[in-house]
Amino acid sequence: MPDSKLYGLIGSSLKHSFSERFFTEKFKSENIQAVYRNIEIADTGELERFFKGSLPYSGLNVTFPYKESVIPFLDEVNENAREIGAVNVIEFRNGVKIGYNTDSSAFAESLRNTTLVKDKAALILGTGGASKAVAFALQYLEIPFEFVSRTKRDIPGFKSYEDIRNEGLSDYGLIVNCTPLGTYPDTEGVVDLNFDQVNDQHFLYDLVYNPELSTFLKKGLEKGARIKNGSNMLRFQAELTWLLWNR
């Protein structure tokens, strides 16, 4: 029997990780000699120590909050990931650590059969690594967008939540939550939108997948909006990840 390959996910609060379940089930059902484990990293100091140590991995996934801060520890970064400014997949090739971003392609793929309101911009809630991948995908799909965050950012198309509450949501069709608010176990967390401004012309997309119906989506549904969680996107990015690791 060949030696098992080792894969893993680095991030914080990984107890209910989709990736570990997905790959463990995949390895078992396809009789693949491999193990996938969650690797809890407390802070960027621990992240640095992790990459300075022995790395017996064939591949790694990266999740919140390290998709941006992991980049300095890599030997190479794929062009798309470099442009996005975030990495969610690491390939180990002949001792070289190479970073990729499959989030953007997975997000675009998850919208393939979705009809969006024409001539409406998208709102991206959050300005972290996931939001950058979503923005990259929206550029590819030729959907204009603006970022919203609690903290002022010096980036094009930035608005505060106060700006959005004052201006309303009538100019927007797609609203994407790229923040961790609402993720298990803090399921009551939600972005600071005025949900009374949401209606049946809006499509609310939450990258959160646990719970399946987040507070963000629940509030949108109550106002007649179409909704979608992040489970399809996660599955697409996991499949793309496996292709990268096995080229």
Catalytic positions are 67
* First-last CA distance in the chain: 22
SS in 3 state form for 135-158? HHHHHHCCCCEEEEECCCCCCCCE
Per the structure block, which two tokens stand in for 169?
């949501």
Per the structure block, which two tokens stand in for 77?
């970064």
Going by DSSP bridges, is the β-strand pair 34-40/76-77 parallel, antiparallel, or unpaired? unpaired
Report the candidate in 209, 224, 67, 204 with the shortest Cα–Cα distance to residue 132: 67
Per the structure block, which two tokens stand in for 4?
């098992």
Q: Let me know if 49 is exposed, middle or buried by CB neighbors in 10 A (0-12, 13-18, 19+).
A: exposed
H or E segment at 49? helix 44-52
